[in-house]
Amino acid sequence: MAAEALTNGRAEIGRHREPRRKPMTQNKRLYSLILAMGFLVLASNAQADKLAVAYGAIGGGQLPLFVTEAAGLFKKHGLDVELVFIEGGSRSVTALVSGQTPIIGGDPSAMTLAASRGSDVVMIASMTNTLPYFMAARPEIKTKEDLKGKRIAVSRFGSASDFVTRMALEGLGLVPDKDVAIVQVGAVPTRFAALESGTIHATVLTPPANLLAKKKGFTILVNVAALGLKIPNSAIGTTRAYLNSHRDIVRRFLSAYIEGIKVLRSDRVFTMKTLAKYSRVTEPESLKEAYEVYSAANPERPYIDPPSIQKVIDFLAKQRPETGKLKPENIIDMSVLQEIDRSGFIDSVYGR
């Protein structure tokens, strides 16, 4: 009886004592904490500066920009960045000077041409500091002589592909617009499709598209990268007006970008996945080879090499003499990048 009473008593105590309320209290606290964190995230997003950033090419030349966005690094630095594709480097520069976008990932040749016409354009950091282009041609074209009288495609006149094509043709001893016709077709996927259909006879491609072209039997006539030209394929551009009035935003943008380069250089799998998304190439071997090119072409410190920009100026001046009046310092301003570097930020990104 006593045992039964004790058992019943324990049952009664177990039925009516308060410990069950504690988990409810903890749940409420946890719920309140989650709500508070949610409000903090919302508040953080509300405070993030919105920024539309244009890029003019679908390919590896813009890879640091793509990786920075995909890794969420712009958000980390309080920026709500939307990457906007505007086909052709010259068009993205037009969007910049017209005020449609305050920052672009564009090609130096298009920015140089715009500056020579009086536009407020300035390059603030490099993006892929070499020209990883290859001229791919139809299988029946084996030599430079076979190119004469043929059609070579570029994205837009004044774009990086146009600049590289003309440089490559001169290297082959051919005169652009005389020995060969240069036509505007569009971005890499469009040019590749035109090459496959026979609408055009050749075009310049960047990894991984050139690797895919080689596997499909197209002739690789010129490896522009092998020419040893230390000319950036792309650069981060803005206007001096924006740089002066929004210096803190530019600083945060470049800080995120520098961290993005770190991810590109150290995370092969993530970078290849990002490249596949933007280049529309999914063949693993091509992506792997492309990664090797771009991880090497994006240094920790994305400084622009002024003598290389002088080469761009000199080349463009052959067709547009007014461009020859420019000096590299007229179109380069790396002051924010230098401030970031002097602060020790870049060293801290790499754990030094």
The DSSP result for 185-249, as a single string, is --SHHHHHHHHHHTSSSEEEE-TTHHHHHHHTT-EEEEEGGGG-----SEEEEE-HHHHHHSHHH
Give 223's pLDDT tier (boundaries 50, 70, 90): confident
pLDDT of 154 higher than 90: yes
Question: Does the pLDDT of residue 7 top 50, yes or no?
Answer: no
Q: What is the mean pLDDT of residues 304-316?
A: 91
Mean pLDDT across 17-22: 42
State the average pLDDT for the chain. Answer: 85
Residue 103 has pLDDT above 80, yes or no: yes
Q: Which residue has the higher pLDDT, 7 or 83?
A: 83
Where helices occur in the chain by DSSP H, the ranges are 2-16, 21-47, 63-70, 73-76, 89-97, 108-116, 160-171, 188-197, 209-215, 240-245, 247-266, 268-279, 284-296, 306-317, 328-331, 335-342, 345-349
Query: What structural domains does the chain harbor?
Result: 48-130+232-349 (3.40.190.10), 134-227 (3.40.190.10)
Q: Each residue of 250-266: pLDDT tens digit?
A: 999 999 999 999 999 99
The residue written with tokens 């020419």 in the block is 227
Instruction: Look at residue 229 in the predicted model and tell me its pLDDT.
Output: 64
Give me the mean pLDDT over the 29-33 stretch. 44
- Reported as a single tens digit per residue, the pLDDT across 134-151 is 999 999 999 989 999 999
Instruction: Give the pLDDT confidence of 50-82 residue by residue, as tens digits.
Output: 999 999 877 788 999 999 999 999 999 999 999
pTM, rounded to two decimals? 0.77
Rounded to 5 degrees, φ, ψ at 50 are -75, 140
Looking at residue 281, its pLDDT comes to 85
pLDDT at residue number 4: 37
Peptide bond into 176 cis (omega under 30): no
With tokens 């990048």, the residue in question is 337
Query: Which one has a higher pLDDT value, 9 or 142?
Result: 142
Residue 41: what pLDDT? Answer: 42
Rounded-to-10 torsion of CA 43, 49, 54, 60: -60
User: What is the per-residue pLDDT across 326-347, written as a single tens digit (0 to 9) for each?
Assistant: 999 999 999 999 999 999 999 9
Of all residues in the chain, the percent with pLDDT exceeding 70 is 86
- Strand 103-106 versus strand 49-55 pairing type: parallel
